[in-house]
Amino acid sequence: MVRLAISVCLDSVVVKRRGKTVLGPVDLCLQADGFTIVLGPNGAGKTTLLKVLHGVERVSRGSVQWSIPNAQVREAQAYVFQSPIMLRRSVRQNLAYPLQLIGIDKAEIASRVVDWAQKTGLQDALDFPAPRLSGGEKQKLALGRALIRMPKVLFLDEPCANLDGRSTREIEELLYDATKAGTRIIMTTHDLGQARRLADSVLFLMNGALHEHGAASNFFAAPSTSEAQAFLNGDIIE
Amino acid sequence: MNEIWAGVQEAFRLIFILDADLIEITLRSLEVSLTALVIASALALPFGTWLAIRRFRYRRFTIAVLNALMGLPPVVVGLVVYLLLSRSGPFGVMGLLFTPTAMIIAQVIIITPLIASITHQAMRELWSEYHDLLISLNTTKRQRVVALIWDGRRTLMTAALAGFGRAIGEVGAIMIVGGNIDHATRVLTTAIALETGKGDFALALGLGFVLITLTLVVNLAIHALSRTEQEGTW
């Protein structure tokens, strides 16, 4: 399958909530492949940036331009939330839901569901009610449910917050495989170790402003702003 | 106390001998209220759900009106339906007055706001839980309503049962539009009112116990059919 390149540019995007600027102005272009990690303290606007890119946040000013038509953009994206949202159904039905929405035939759905249940290690829990899974299993299911449509772009909002090492490793493996398969990943995290392990490029946000954007190796070796330097040193920045 | 005891005995006697009149009016009660329930649910469940997910200008006002309509006095509903269906009314030509259909119409009007209001409350909670996911998956409005109704079906059943309870126990409206005609529109509640009026308390109470038993049986049957208590909590 030929994968369409899908890149995005933000042109002086500003997001305001109740008169307060939570993000922006941000000018940013993201290329069609790779793994981008969004770093920054709480309230820096990381989640807002992800939502703007996903198209579910109202932009007060500026514009978001994707390289493919807007109608196709949403179809080609998936989003994994910090606290996984489980449909009150079985694991199998949770995995099948995104495919049912776009009208894929039943046999195809069934085979893809089994496939992804295996990839996420949930093959024995297929008929278990999803809301009663453990935290790690829920997040893996949410990730499987996001990847099952084979999105071109995947957004993750701190997918490993509150997870132990083993669950984190399993999720990172899934993400690594997804990048291999050509999915563009944009993810926020507070875990600097995780950022070092996964990132190709890094976005560093603070107080709604984009402070740095560059290759991960450069960012971790020699951050160009003092804020990023302090952040990497583990200082508390406000 | 004697009357109550006599009522219990009368109830058992009527059930034991399978009294033909009792069976007839019990079945008619069920027919009228269950039909009203099905029609009202078909209207109220999608409407209540839609109200929970849709933001529009007069939303708060609509919800307030809906909640107020829950307390709609059945007698007044009966009176209005009577006027609409009477020979001189706009729908007089259809000849529906004093038929079970008229009773169903009145009950639908009474229980639809109740079911819609309870549905709205339940769906609002579920929607706040599902909101981000369903938006992110780029669902259509129709797909959202379907997902909420399907996943909230257990709470919706409670809403429907509340509606059924109000319908089967209702007497004011169906007395007016049905007329309590023997072998035509007599149901348990109107029969109880009639027997009480005649002073036959034992029979009235007997019918009352049958009505209560019927309500219990229907509730338990619906719970058993939908297996609410067996699949654990969600």
Q: What CATH number does the domain containing B181 carry?
A: 1.10.3720.10
Whether B137 sits inside 8 A of A131 (CB atoms) is no
Backbone torsions φ then ψ of A195, nearest 5 degrees: -60, -45
Whether B133 sits inside 8 A of A74 (CB atoms) is no
Whether B147 sits inside 8 A of A132 (CB atoms) is no
Determine the pLDDT at residue B227.
Answer: 66
Q: How many domains does chain B have?
A: 1
B125 assigned to some structural domain: yes
A185 to chain B, closest Cα gap in Å: 16
B209 assigned to some structural domain: no
B115 to chain A, closest Cα gap in Å: 22
Q: Residues B49, A155, A46, A86: is their CA dihedral positive or negative?
A: positive
Nearest to A79 among B130, B136, B143 (CB): B136
**Alpha carbon distances (Å) from B60 to A209, B53, B56, B57, B67:** 38, 13, 9, 8, 11
Burial bucket for residue B185 (CB in 10 Å: 0-12, 13-18, 19+) = buried
Determine the pLDDT at residue A34.
Answer: 87
Whether A79 sits inside 8 A of B231 (CB atoms) is no
Among A48, A54, A75, A87, pick the best mutation site for testing chain B contact (most B Cβ within 10 A).
Answer: A87
Determine the pLDDT at residue A70.
Answer: 79
3-state secondary structure of A44: coil
Spans of chain A below 50 pLDDT = 1-2
**How many Å apart are CA B181 and CA B184, to the nearest integer?**
5
A/B interface, count of CB pairs below 8 Å = 36
B15 assigned to some structural domain: no
> In chain B, what residues touch A54 (CB-CB under 8 Å)?
136
Has the ipTM of the complex gone over 0.85? yes
B25 assigned to some structural domain: no
Residue A101 forms contact with B (CB below 8 Å) = yes
**How many Å apart are CA B64 and CA B84, to the nearest integer?**
26
Determine the pLDDT at residue A3.
Answer: 52
B95 assigned to some structural domain: yes
Q: Residues A133, A134, A135, A137: is their CA dihedral positive or negative?
A: negative
Spans of chain B below 50 pLDDT = 232-234
Strand order in the sheet with A201-206: A77-80, A153-157, A184-188, A35-39, A201-206, A209-215
Task: Report whether A174 contacts A140 (CB < 8 A).
Answer: yes
Q: Which residue of B has its CA nearest to A55?
A: B136
| Own/partner long-range contacts of B139-147 (Cβ < 8 Å, ≥24 apart) | B139/A101, B141/B53, B141/B54, B143/A101, B144/B53, B145/B46, B145/B49, B145/B50, B145/B53, B147/A87, B147/A97
Determine the pLDDT at residue A2.
Answer: 45
Complete domains list, chain A, with CATH? 8-90+151-232 (3.40.50.300)
| Own/partner long-range contacts of A69-78 (Cβ < 8 Å, ≥24 apart) | A73/A6, A74/B138, A75/A102, A75/A149, A75/B138, A76/A6, A76/A151, A76/A152, A76/A153, A77/A151, A77/A152, A77/A153, A77/A154, A77/A155, A78/A146, A78/A147, A78/A149, A78/A151, A78/A153, A78/A154, A78/A155, A78/B136
B210 assigned to some structural domain: no
Q: Residues A211, A238, A43, A155: is their CA dihedral positive or negative?
A: positive
> In chain A, what residues touch B135 (CB-CB under 8 Å)?
56
Determine the pLDDT at residue A163.
Answer: 84
Q: What is the pTM of this model?
A: 0.80
B59 to chain A, closest Cα gap in Å: 22
Task: Identify the CA nearest to A96 among candidates A83, A84, A108.
Answer: A108
B198 assigned to some structural domain: no
Nearest to B151 among A54, A89, A101 (CB): A89
Q: Residues A50, A53, A56, A58: is their CA dihedral positive or negative?
A: positive
Nearest to A129 among B130, B133, B234 (CB): B234
Q: Go through A142-154 and write b for each residue having 16 or more CB atoms within 10 A of its CB, e for each that does not.
A: bbbbbbbbebbbb
Residue B82 forms contact with A (CB below 8 Å) = no
B3 assigned to some structural domain: no
Q: Residues B49, B55, B61, B64: is their CA dihedral positive or negative?
A: positive
Residue A56 forms contact with B (CB below 8 Å) = yes
Whether A132 sits inside 8 A of B232 (CB atoms) is yes
Determine the pLDDT at residue A8.
Answer: 87
Range(s) of the domain holding residue B105: 42-185
Task: Report whether A36 contacts A30 (CB < 8 A).
Answer: yes
